[in-house]
């Protein structure tokens, strides 16, 4: 996790921060509110716990996600979007979601949206 010293524009930096298969999906899932690691792992098909933990650590380091640990036994940890950068990035992801919905609709693949339970905003 290294931020570039040289870049064309700030978009390049943000792209580096959220690039990969899982980071946007993790952020999108966190739009639903604070959640545990186990719940995130269950909700994101195909992600391993190792990969989830690695990406969460990076997203925390970049300031998009925060981790809250609760006292007591058993240990309880929650992850949530940060009020500033996390929620701002969520707005960009909402635009990307709408573009994906429009594309699938235009391609006549609304059935995929129904299968996934996606309801356009």
Domain-wise residue ranges, the chain: 10-94
Q: Is the pLDDT of residue 102 over 70?
A: yes
Residue 115, pLDDT score: 85
Could you tell me the pLDDT band of residue 119, with boundaries at 50, 70 and 90? low
Residue 113 has pLDDT above 80, yes or no: yes
- Is the pLDDT confidence value at 121 over 50? no
Residue partners of 13: CB distance under 8 A and separation at least 6: 3, 4, 7
**Residue indicated by tokens 């899932």:** 29
From 67, 23, 15, select the one nearest 47 (Cα to Cα): 23
Protein fold of 10-94: Arc Repressor Mutant, subunit A (1.10.10)
pTM: 0.87
């Amino acid at each position: 996790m290294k931020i570039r010293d040289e870049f064309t524009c700030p978009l390049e930096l943000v792209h580096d921060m959220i690039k990969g298969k899982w980071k946007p999906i993790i952020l999108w899932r966190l739009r639903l509110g604070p959640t545990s690691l186990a719940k995130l792992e269950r909700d994101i098909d195909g992600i391993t716990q190792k990969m989830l933990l690695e990406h969460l650590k990076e997203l925390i380091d970049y300031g998009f996600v925060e981790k809250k640990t609760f006292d007591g036994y058993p240990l309880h940890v929650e992850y949530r979007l940060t009020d500033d950068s996390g929620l701002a990035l969520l707005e960009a992801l909402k635009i990307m979601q709408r573009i994906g919905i429009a594309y699938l609709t235009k391609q006549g693949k609304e059935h995929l949206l129904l299968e996934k339970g996606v309801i356009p905003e």
